[in-house]
Structure 1
Amino acid sequence: MDFSTLQSRISSAPYIPPHRTQIHPRIHPFSSLNSKPASNTFFTREKCWIFLALLILVTFVVYLFSIARGVHFSSKFTAGRAKGYGIIIDAGDSGSRVHVFEFLTDGDIPFVSFNGKGSDSVKSREGLSAYASDPKNAGGSLVSLLQFAKKKIPVKEWATTKLQLMVTTGLEKVDPEGKRVILESCRQVLRSSGFLFKDEWAAVTTGRDEGIYAWVAANYALGTLGGDPWKTIGVVELGGTSLQVTFVPREPPPLEFSRVVKLGGTTYNLYSHSLLHFGQDAVWALLHEAHNSVLKFSSGSGKDTLMNPCIPRGYFHSSDVPLSSNSRSVSAKKLLEFPTGNFSACVSDTLMLLGKVTGKCMKPPCRTGSIVIPEFQGKYFSAQDFFYTSKFFGLVPRASLSELVSAGHHYCEEDWNKLKNEHSGMDEEDLLQFCFSSAYVVALLHNGLGIPMDVKRIGFANQAGNVPLDWTLGAFIQQIAMEAEPGPEIPIWAMGKDSFTFFTFFVIFFLAVIFAFFISKWQKPQVKTVYDLEKGRYIITRIPR
């Protein structure tokens, strides 16, 4: 074929652009950009999301298992009924008493057993103050008490049984250095006892704390602890050297007498006041000193007669007293104590004495001298010497003050010899004080606390059922309850107390989510294909997302 013929054919044929004669790169069988079908891409994404859902489900199941395990092994679930023991030694002026408590940690407030098998107490004859001249041997007085405790507690429980020494009265008469040596001597004995003990667990307990512990014990025994604060029972505890008053007032008490106590999930704003020198023995001694300093009648025969309204009629007592308290002369005159047995006069003398002891009222309203006590409402218990006085007159468990007044009048005006015959088995010194003690109870409760004379809302008791109303019981309950309170680590138990295991699964879950996120974003790159006429080829470029 000649050139002219070929040229005519080319000119007569339709024009085809060069790029039409090339195979597009995207459909070239050997192209690296040849993508898979869209259905395969969808299938891959679907499997990825199924895998992610399964991973989330497994992690969530493990988390639920961790929570269930934490609840099962938490103290509220398994250890809630754990049995335990505790020891408190009450070191008072007249002797030391050891209290062994057997308890179950049942809920927020422990259950203390008083079935005669576990919880018990025994007292030694000598107090720590008796070792003022020999303080290094004071700890020896506790050995017999510890031996008693060891008989009550199984050997396997000794190492976990908390041992405390609470010193109440008596050591205030000892100089600071002697007090320090006495406490250190006791700590040495307690360290080697085999029980759980720390040095700070042997210390002096204030009268105010003693009153709060007595309040806790009384409300625990009566079942009012952990409930409505207005339904709790107030406690007036009369000891030998001091008086403790503790109750929940209607109005906020003065800050110096306020104490916040949290028990059983309830917060109590208590009024608590310890009145030193208001104990029955202390006031009895002060009353005798006051009578000795003021002779109410003189016979002019070298013998002075002391008129004492707080002693039953017919009692006779004589003693030699110095002519002057400031005189060093050994000469003395005979003092005859002439009892008048007058209940009303005894109450007046007692109130006058208390007013002198407390001084003038600086922050009205005051009830006795300078004592500030809020209005007392509701019911309350009177323990210790209050109980013994009311029991002697047959006024337990509950009586009005007017009944005690009537009994006091009869007793004070009765002949002493007749009283001795009626109570022949009682010590005469104790028998002598009941005229005074009945008058003192009325003076404190009516004039001091404002209790009406004819209202029977005062209970005289030293135990409720088989539970003793002893302040050491309250101290033990409060400390066990405080130790059982949840701390800041509470959220940890929700992870089964195995934070490392839960953290591991959490990390796996987090990484799975990140992995799934990038998988979901991954897909075939988007490209744009153009034909370069100058170069005569296709150019493929990636389109940014």
Structure 2
Amino acid sequence: MAAPSLILTFTVWLLAESLLTEATYYRHHRYVPHFYRYREHSANTENLLPEVSNPAPEVTQPRVPTYPEIPEVFHPVPEVIHPIPEAFNPVPEVVHPAPEPYQTPEVQELVAGASSPVNMSRVFYGIMFDAGSTGSRIHIYKFIQKDPVELPVLDNEMYHAVKPGLSAYKDNPEEAGNSIRQLLKIAKKTVPEDDWKRTPVVLKATAGLRLLPEDKAKAILTEVKDVFAESPFFVPNNSVSIMNGAREGVLAWVTVNFLTGHLYSNTRRTVGILDLGGGSTQITFLPKSKKTIQSAPPSYIANFNLFQNTYQLYTHSYLGNGLFAARLATLGALGADGLDWKVFTSSCLPKKFREEVAFGGDTYKVSGIPDGYAGYKLCYYEVMKVIKGKVHQPYEVKGSSVFYAFSHYYDRAVESGLIDGSRGGAVEVRDFKKRAKEVCNKMTKYRAISPFLCMDLTYITCLLKEGFGFKDSTVLQLAKKVNNVETSWALGATFDYFRNLNIH
């Protein structure tokens, strides 16, 4: 009885063990497929792509299998990366294809990394001497050329002047050379030494030397050439010369219109210039009317090319009508002989004024009229003799053209209180006339400023009204500098050297 009971118990135990093993095997295979299905679904879910492209450390567990879908995330479709190389690898013929936001960081990285100089901008210098009748001036320009077919950017100007002008050394040309040598020392301190050999140095003389006898002017220019030859700068052919008056006016026009931004635009809206030097005066503008061209003497029209544009200007220089030459002409002293004993008088000077005046290497004795009359009307009559019949009136100046006036126009306006000397300003032609009357009728009051102030303001008034034909209401913009650069022909002459404007 015991044996059958033992056999039954053993059979039940075996049956239970078999059922337990089968249940465990079933649960194991149900779990694993569930795991695989969950992982495969997660790896192909689109909103998880950012996490895969920036994986967290815990994702890379050794038990997680590697699937073919995952490498696709690290190799994005081509459209995503194609725009990037296009922005930084422009086609060769485009000099500046990328806009400023892309360009600036790229240049900064190159400079900071001290890698090869891939920056396409080029820095260069130019030295221009303005040898005028009353002084010699040096203009040292620093340019940045960003695009060879566009205007360069003027980064800054170093300006310095010495007196007297070269013409004062007509009997001592060695001293003329020393005055230029003095200015060259400033250039050596301004231009980096590595740029000396490729920086051109040019001197152009104006009315002061044009008024001298040819042999004396030539001796001065020869001395200056020798000084240039000693310098470490590049000395081009014809680096020292006397510039004709027409070019002086055109190049001053180029300077002012470059500084005021008018040469950058295609509107052809420009400004005219009035330059009153010591020995000569210039008027230059771009005519709007064909009648201005047709009614002008042929020699008063100049053509030139600048940056793929052709300009036809009305321009003329009046030698002997600069402010200091006009003073002597008013006194009857310009070109006179017997300077050792003659005294030249004028109603434009204070009655008790007597002084020696130097100009162009000569000395003149001048004075007021002690027992005579003085004042605006008498002065105007005297000045008219210097202007009347000698100055052409262009048709167009009676219109609304905008003119910049500088040099002695500016200086006398500041001295007489017409404008603020720190920033210039706009005046009407009638303002010069009004102030001339005030000064001439109270010469004693203004003598401390300048005994010639009455004569100068009267001459400016007469030149503008009776000479060029401006209306009383014409507005003149008086300026010594525009954007912190001197308003003179020197910048335009530097452009002429670098670009060959082909003025004719």
TM-score above 0.5, yes or no: yes
Q: Distance in 2 between matches of 1:103 and 1:203?
A: 24
SS in 1 for 2:207: coil
Determine the structure 1 residue equivalent to 2:132: 92
- Report what 1:437 is aligned to: 456
Question: Which residue does the alignment assign to 1:391?
Answer: 414
The equivalences for 1:288-327 within 5 A come to 288-289=331-332, 308-312=346-350, 315-317=351-353
Residue in 2 aligned with 1:297? none
**Residues 283 and 94 of structure 1: CA distance in aligned 2, closer, same or farther (over 3 Å):** closer
Aligned match of 2:432: 404
The offset of 1:262, in angstroms, is 2.3
Unmatched 5+ stretches in structure 1: 1-66, 294-304, 321-333, 359-367, 486-545
Residue deviations 1:319-362 (CA, integer Å, cap 9, x gap): 99xxxxxxxxxxxxx99534634323322332233236x3xxxx
- Maintained 8 Å contact 1:226/1:264: no
Give the SS at the match of 2:382: helix
Aligned CA-pair RMSD: 3.4
1:246 & 1:98 partners in 2: Cα distance? 23
For 2:492, the equivalent position in structure 1 comes to 474
State the TM-score, normalized to the length of structure 2.
0.65
After superposition, the Cα gap between the structure-2 partners of 1:265 and 1:187, relative to the gap in structure 1 and judged at 3 Å, is: same
Is residue 331–residue 344 contact of structure 2 (8 Å, CA) maintained in 1?
no
Give the count of matched residue pairs.
364
Kept in 2, the 8 Å contact 1:310–1:341? The answer is: yes
Q: Partner residue of 1:491?
A: none
SS of alignment partner, residue 140 of structure 2: strand
Structure 2 Cα separation of the partners of residues 228 and 288 of structure 1: 47
Cross-structure match for 2:31: none
Aligned to 1:236: 274
How far has the Cα of 1:393 moved from its partner? 2.9
- Structure 1: how far apart are the matches of 2:322 and 2:183? 27
- Partners in 2 of 1:136 and 1:317 — Cα distance? 35
Among 293, 299, 311, the alignment partner of 1:256 is: 299
d(CA) in 2 for partners of 1:264 and 1:154? 28
Show the 5 A alignment for 1:204-353.
204-228=242-266, 230-249=268-287, 250-251=289-290, 252=293, 253-289=296-332, 308-312=346-350, 315-317=351-353, 336-338=369-371, 340-353=373-386
Matched-pair identity in %: 25
In structure 2, distance between residues paired with 1:245 and 1:219: 14
Verify the 8 A CA contact 1:319 1:335 in the aligned structure 2: no
Gaps of 5+ in 2: 1-89, 98-102, 104-117, 337-342, 357-366, 420-424
SS at match of 1:232: coil
State the match for 2:396 in structure 1.
Answer: 375
Maintained 8 Å contact 1:235/1:381? yes
Residue 337 of structure 1: SS of its match in structure 2? coil
Is 1:155 the counterpart of 2:173 in the alignment? no
Aligned to 2:226: 188
1:399 aligns to what SS in structure 2?
strand
5 Å-filtered alignment, 1:68-87, equals: 68-69=91-92, 71=94, 81-87=121-127
Q: Aligned-pair distance for 1:307?
A: 8.6
The one-letter code matched in structure 2 to 1:347 is Y
- Structure 1 residue 480: deviation in Å? 3.1
Query: What CA deviation, in whole Å up to 9, does each residue of 1:382-408 have, x standing for no partner?
Result: 111111122223323111122222222
Offset from partner CA, 1:190-241 (integer Å, 9 cap, x none): 1231111123121111122111111111111211124357521111111111
Q: Give the TM-score taking structure 1 as reference length.
A: 0.60
Larger Rg: 1
Residues 339, 97 of structure 1: alpha-carbon distance in 2 compared, 3 angstrom cutoff: farther
Q: CA deviation at 1:103?
A: 0.8
C-alpha separation between the residues in 2 aligned to 1:136 and 1:413?
A: 45
In structure 2, what residue type is equivalent to 1:385? H
- Larger relative contact order (Cα-Cα within 8 Å, sequence gap ≥ 6): 1
1:349 partner letter: E
